[in-house]
Amino acid sequence: MINITKEDENFMRLAIEQARIAEENGDVPIGAVIVGENRIIGKAYNQREQLQDPTAHAEIIALTQAAAALENWHLNGCTIYVTLEPCPMCAGALVLARIDRLVYGCDDPKAGACKSLYNIVQDERLNHRLEVTSGVLVEQCSKLLRDFFSQRRVKNAQ
């Protein structure tokens, strides 16, 4: 088991802040922060509703920002912090971007592609694999999603 560090928790708190922005904009509260060269080089939140774009996941937007910051799509040496286990699209993008490490909050039993349903980020058939740490601030990350969907169900019932 990989130990969760204070640094992991601090960056996850920043990802949670991003997730709250998504929620304020009516989107599923998922946030992502990418750290490289000892600084934040990408941070984003889900913007699917705002942009009406099915690919506007927090991870994808953060990857685009990080690549622009480094002027290189190879993100070797970088770590991404995400509040929810990435989906297949995002997991594939992390592999293609050559991210070294994925740290996420809570598992996604319905669409998770790093442990729950698939393990794309560590599939030995692919040309790159990520180190994965899960369960960082799991309660806070889970609560954000539970509260969001609970409120949505109440709103839809009205």
Active-site residues, by number, are 59
Q: Rounded to a whole number, what is the largest CA-CA distance in the chain?
A: 49
Instruction: Give helix 138-157 / helix 6-24 axis angle, nearest 10°.
Output: 10
Listing DSSP states for 28-46 in one string gives ---EEEEEETTEEEEEEE-
Element (H, E) at 64: helix 58-70
Residue 102, C-beta contacts closer than 8 angstroms, at least 6 positions apart = 79, 80, 82, 86, 94, 114, 121, 130, 131, 132, 133
Q: Rounded CA gap, 12 and 110, in Å? A: 22
